[in-house]
Amino acid sequence: MSPEFSGNGYHRKSIQRDTWAMLEIAKQEGIETVWDRLAKQQPQCGYCSLGTSCRICSMGPCRVDPFGDGPQKGVCGADADIIVARNLARSIAAGASSHSDHGRDILETLHMVGEGKTDVYKISDPQKLHRLAVEYGLSVEGKNDQELAKELAWEMMEDYGMRREKLPLARRAPRSRQEIWEKTGVYPRGVDRENVEALHRTHMGVDNDWVNILLHAVRTSLSDGWGGSMIATELSDTLFGVPTPKMSQVNLGVLRKDMVNIILHGHNPMLSEVIVAASQDPELIALAREKGAQGVNLAGVCCTGNEVLMRKGIPMAGNHLMQELCILTGAVELMVVDYQCIMPAVTEVAKCFHTKVISTFDKAKFPGAEHVHFDPEHGLEIGKQIVRSAIENYTRRVPERVYIPVEPVPMMTGFSIEAVLGALGGSPQPLIDAIVQGSIRGAVGIVGCNNPKIKQDLGHTELTRRLIENDILVVVTGCATVADAKAGLMTPEAADLAGPGLRAVCKALGIPPVLHFGSCVDNTRILVLAAALANALGVDINALPLAGAAPEWYSEKAVAIGTYVVASGIYTVLGVAPPIFGSPNIVKLLTEGLEGVFGATFAVEPDPNRAAVLIRRHIERKRAGLGLSALNPDNIAMPESELALA
Ligand code: SF4
Ligand code: MSK
């Protein structure tokens, strides 16, 4: 740790120097952050942590004491299994709804493009539009992009309703996977249908069979992964462009002392895309110069940041735990937010500086923020209004309070499936060959958030290092991306940190050992790639040497993601314990029982080094199952004996 920050405990909160510097500012100025509020919440409720508290109806709230002499049942008679299952199902429904409603917003924009009702959005990737139209069974002959956009949007709107028996995009999964979903009754039908049914079933006195509740929770999550989230990714690519590899930068050093800084925060790229366009408007750049700035600088936070990073190379200021801290630099004129993962606290921190916070979606308003109603029909005009507002605010900046504590770190981004296949020469075969030969042992998706209960970015970066050292390719989305990029793991030069096999592959292709796949909805790119690999090998996804990990997750969306990933056949390790431990039956089902149903389970392991061992063992087991080369013990970068893993 740098000497100026030692002795103040910041190293227990984060591994990042820019975080330490901003925590020092917060301390000096008496500004509360997420870590202070977590401390004030201690001790957090044990019943809630175990998942055995219930406030579904007004006969409660109730709590069940699974390990002591307290009540064993709620007022209605629900036991720990029912209460934990209901709570988990509701979390999954909330997470799935969040992603899927985001997908719906993009879908409505596609429809608007089809109807010629927007001044700004257009089809940026006609090939993808055509591929999707064909996948949905539409005839494409003689139709222009606008007509196809309208027809495809109309078809996809059905994915949200109740007329479908099966979501069309789920057909991308291997046939054997779909058969498992059919047999267990979890094949997703309509996105809205599964989410509404999840809320219905978890009302008091409806579904009281905990296994049955959880099966529907799985179906709900699949309607997200192979439905709402996949629609969000596919249509964002169609409208805003399929990402291609490019270099960018990350950390608080991407903010500029001499420019108007705008932070883009949230998840939906519709608004951020128009702000990128508006920030390049010559009139607005001239206005910025008039106000004494060199221009307008954009930087991302959270998944909106990931979206514009992937497609436009806009740098990232930080991940989830940086949203308050970037304001503490004193260099942010404006934070524009859409929805999800935006702490209400940002407006409080902004009040201590000149920073303006603008909310934009009518479904996500924030006390203390100015609300500018976002209307996709007139997107560019609104984007310009917001950028102008930031420029006007530049004159209120207090130069003496500006402190940008670090230099930015380079990173490579833009690995869509199309880009990965492009790097491989147009086919997944070279990747399959590398896995078969053992130069790449397998691949792991490290996804998800930060959580102040975990030292910021330690879980992501330690796990990533251990895996790439062991020739395991890592793909990242969401906040994990920023963690790994800040640690210098996402440049082609980072190949030197990988084991010999992965290093050679990365050097030959000029790619990092950690590939950026995008935002949280873009976890569906991982599903699509896994399905393509499984189909190419003629096996189900669960036979592949793959795993998932969410070392620092916090959100309900992460619960939905983890569930659809496991139900798709990919073993997943969580770094934060979910609130299920009040039901030993449910713990056993999720960590063991699911193997016999979906061929994959969850594991919970907060120590990233131990998580890496679990994952490596899993990958080697899967390789053995496929008859692929076994690991040479001399090539293990982290002897298991050192970790004494039980
Ligand atoms: Fe209590 Fe049952 Fe009502 Fe939940 S649903 S609050 S356990 S009475
Ligand atoms: S969910 S990964 S906190 S942005 Fe996209 Fe939010 Fe980050 Fe989780």
Percent of the chain with pLDDT over 90: 93
Q: Which CATH architecture has domain 80-240?
A: Up-down Bundle (1.20)
pLDDT at 145 (0 to 100): 97
pLDDT at 427 (0 to 100): 87
Q: Which CATH architecture has domain 252-401?
A: 3-Layer(aba) Sandwich (3.40)
Query: What are the pLDDT digits (tens) for 67-119?
Result: 888 999 999 999 999 999 999 999 999 999 999 999 999 999 999 999 999 87
From the CA of 74, give the closest atom in ligand 1.
7
Query: What are the pLDDT digits (tens) for 327-342?
Result: 999 999 999 999 999 9
pLDDT at 641 (0 to 100): 60
Question: Does 644 score more than 90 pLDDT?
Answer: no
Dist. CA 511–CA 356, nearest whole Å: 38
Q: Bridge-partner residues for 459, per DSSP? A: none
Query: What are the pLDDT digits (tens) for 499-508?
Result: 999 999 999 9
Residues 6+ apart with CB under 8 A from 350: 327, 335, 356, 357, 368
Query: What are the pLDDT digits (tens) for 343-385?
Result: 999 999 999 999 999 999 999 999 999 999 999 988 899 999 9
The mean pLDDT of 599-618, rounded to a whole number, is 98
Whose atoms come closest to the Cα of 266: which ligand? 2
pLDDT at 646 (0 to 100): 44
pLDDT at 132 (0 to 100): 98
Instruction: State the pLDDT confidence band at 262, using cuts at 50, 70 and 90.
Output: very high
Pocket of ligand 2 (CB under 6 A): 267, 302-303, 319-320, 341, 448-449, 478-479, 520, 555, 557
Dist. CA 92–CA 88, nearest whole Å: 6
From the CA of 557, give the closest atom in ligand 2.
1
The structure's pTM equals: 0.97
What are the residue ranges spanned by the domains of the chain? 80-240, 252-401, 412-631
Instruction: Tell me if domain 252-401 and domain 412-631 are identical in fold.
Output: yes
Per the structure block, which two tokens stand in for 89? 């199902």
Run of H or E residues at 271: helix 269-279
Per the structure block, which two tokens stand in for 217? 């929770």
The whole-chain average pLDDT of the chain stands at: 96
Q: Whose CA is nearest to atom 3 of ligand 2?
A: 449
pLDDT at 3 (0 to 100): 53
Q: Tell me: cis bond preceding 584? Omega within 30 of 0 counts.
A: no
Q: Whose CA is nearest to atom 2 of ligand 1?
A: 76
The mean pLDDT of 34-56, rounded to a whole number, is 97
From the CA of 303, give the closest atom in ligand 2.
4
Question: Does 622 score more than 70 pLDDT?
Answer: yes
CA atoms within 13 A on the CB side of 303: 33
Question: Does 521 score more than 70 pLDDT?
Answer: yes
Instruction: State the pLDDT confidence band at 636, using cuts at 50, 70 and 90.
Output: confident
Give the residue from 296, 226, 289, 235 showing the smallest Cα distance to 262: 296
Placement of tokens 């301390």 in the chain: 27
Question: Does 593 score more than 80 pLDDT?
Answer: yes
pLDDT at 13 (0 to 100): 97
Domain 412-631 fold is Rossmann fold (3.40.50)
